[in-house]
């Protein structure tokens, strides 16, 4: 009996010990879980503050009196076609560049794998800088954005001044990644690179070309492409808005041809650059165009967007005769930019969130758990689909056969319109 009693006490003691250990372990586990939850909550707050602290002048736009920030990885390229105005003098003291007739901002969103465009009216009233020969700003005032190219004291400075005007117009952008400028006389060369572009004539334009009758569909030859894109004063009552419609129509079909050519020949982007580089002013290269061609082929096309506003005749240029002036609707500018750049709305407080506790100083030490996931998601897009680009583009770009037939187009300097430029 004594041995049996001892055994019972030992069993009870063992069970009690196990229960005590279980309670202790359970309490520790619950405590650890609470601690983990508290740490996760604190990290979430720090992430939010870190995100807020990233809003600086470099990635914040001012649109319709509100602040918006870049939330996606994007790159932008400005394509410009110029008229035949300007002095063309090599002396920077006497040089004035030709004015811009056509402005198209290409927006590539690597986060969403999209490509889209913003067409900018040449008559848009915005702040434009006048440059000194050394590049310094002499003055600035609101006038047509096309004049920004006039005020540069060299071809490169004219292009950069146009880039600056576009950045200012679109919410004081910090950066545009590249520019490519050609004279509208070289549209034939552009058209030739893709073997012509098919369009349907939507207005009677037979004053510009006898084949440009309303409703007719045709593949434009090089001379017709120039007429189709430039004609204004002799057709549609001289309205730039109607010309912009034709330019959008042509460029949409042109980009479709680039896709087709790239599908047939992965090196087409580089070859395209080589066919145009001698008539262009640009800070881009064959690799850039090869990557753009690949993005055209593989990315989602968001189309060509335009900004709404009011066009009227005015005297901003302070000349004897009035000129078209386009006053953009600030809400339309905002909406187009949000759509094209996937911007997020931020408040002034987000720019300087302040410090709520001592841990605010240690944000740089916080390891964000989703950083590796983000890197993995971006890896396929990193450096503009670099793998595709390397296959499509050779370092020996200058040796690519250039069989472009540009028709030896010469500027027609005798025909000038009221804007100080040539018209067909």
pLDDT digits (tens, 9 = 90+) for 130-168: 998 888 999 999 999 999 999 988 999 999 999 999 999
d(CA 68, CA 235): 40
277-310 in b/e form (b: 16+ CB < 10 A) is bebbbbebebbbbbbbbbbbbebeeeebbbbebe
pLDDT in tens, 257-307: 999 999 999 999 999 999 999 999 999 999 999 999 999 999 999 999 999
Q: Which of 415, 419, 403, 423 is nearest to 195 (CA)?
A: 403
pLDDT in tens, 86-137: 887 777 788 889 999 999 999 999 999 999 999 999 999 999 999 988 889 9
pTM score = 0.74
| Widest Cα–Cα separation across the chain | 128
Checking if the pLDDT of 380 tops 50, the result is: no
Mean pLDDT for 64-76 is 92
Checking if the pLDDT of 374 tops 70, the result is: no
Mean pLDDT for 371-396 is 47
Residue 403's pLDDT band (cuts 50, 70, 90): very low
Checking if the pLDDT of 197 tops 70, the result is: yes
Say how many C-beta atoms besides its own lie within 10 A of residue 272's C-beta.
Answer: 23
Helix axes 286-298, 240-264, angle to 10 degrees: 90
Say how many C-beta atoms besides its own lie within 10 A of residue 269's C-beta.
Answer: 27
d(CA 136, CA 92): 13
3-state secondary structure of 2: helix
pLDDT in tens, 23-38: 555 555 566 666 667 7
* Contact between residue 170 and residue 338 where contact means Cβ atoms under 8 Å apart: no
Instruction: Report the pLDDT value the prediction gives residue 237, as an integer from 0 to 100.
Output: 64
**Average pLDDT, rounded, for the chain:** 80
């Amino acid at each position: 009996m004594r041995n049996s009693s001892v055994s019972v006490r030992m069993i009870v003691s063992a069970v009690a010990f196990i229960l005590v250990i279980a309670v202790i372990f359970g309490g520790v586990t619950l405590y650890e879980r609470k601690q983990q939850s508290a740490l996760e909550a604190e990290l979430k707050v720090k992430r939010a503050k870190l995100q807020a602290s990233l809003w600086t002048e470099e990635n914040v736009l001012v649109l319709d009196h509100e602040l918006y920030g870049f939330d996606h990885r994007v790159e932008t390229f400005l394509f410009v076609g110029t008229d035949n105005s300007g002095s063309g003098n090599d002396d920077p003291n006497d040089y004035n560049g030709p004015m811009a007739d056509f402005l198209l901002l290409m927006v590539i969103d690597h986060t969403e794998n999209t490509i889209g465009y913003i067409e900018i009216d040449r008559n848009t009233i915005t702040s434009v800088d006048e440059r000194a020969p050394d590049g310094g700003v002499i003055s600035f005032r609101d006038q047509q954005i096309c004049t920004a190219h006039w005020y540069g004291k060299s071809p490169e400075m004219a292009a950069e001044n146009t880039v600056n005007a576009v950045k200012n117009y679109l919410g004081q952008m910090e950066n545009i990644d590249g520019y490519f400028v050609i004279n509208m006389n070289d549209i034939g060369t552009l058209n030739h690179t893709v073997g012509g572009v098919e369009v349907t004539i939507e207005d009677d334009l037979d004053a510009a070309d006898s084949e440009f009758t309303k409703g007719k569909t045709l593949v434009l030859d090089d001379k017709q492409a120039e007429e189709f894109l430039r004609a204004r004063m002799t057709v549609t009552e001289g309205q730039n808005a109607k010309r912009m419609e034709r330019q959008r129509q042509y460029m949409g079909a042109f980009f479709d041809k680039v896709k087709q050519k790239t599908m047939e020949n992965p090196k087409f982007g580089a070859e395209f650059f080589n066919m145009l580089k001698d008539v262009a002013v640009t800070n881009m290269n064959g690799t850039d165009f090869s990557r753009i061609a690949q993005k055209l082929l593989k990315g989602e096309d968001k189309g060509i967007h335009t900004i709404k506003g009011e066009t009227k005749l005015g005297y901003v240029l302070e000349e004897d005769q009035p000129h078209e002036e386009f006053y953009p609707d600030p809400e339309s500018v905002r909406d187009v930019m949000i759509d094209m750049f996937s911007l997020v709305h931020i408040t002034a407080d987000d720019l300087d969130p302040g410090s709520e506790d001592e841990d605010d100083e240690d944000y740089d030490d916080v390891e964000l758990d989703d950083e590796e996931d983000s890197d993995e998601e971006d890896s396929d897009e990193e450096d503009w689909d670099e793998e595709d680009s390397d296959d499509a583009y050779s370092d020996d770009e200058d040796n690519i056969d250039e069989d472009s037939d540009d028709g030896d187009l010469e500027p027609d300097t005798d025909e000038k319109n009221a804007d100080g430029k040539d018209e067909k």
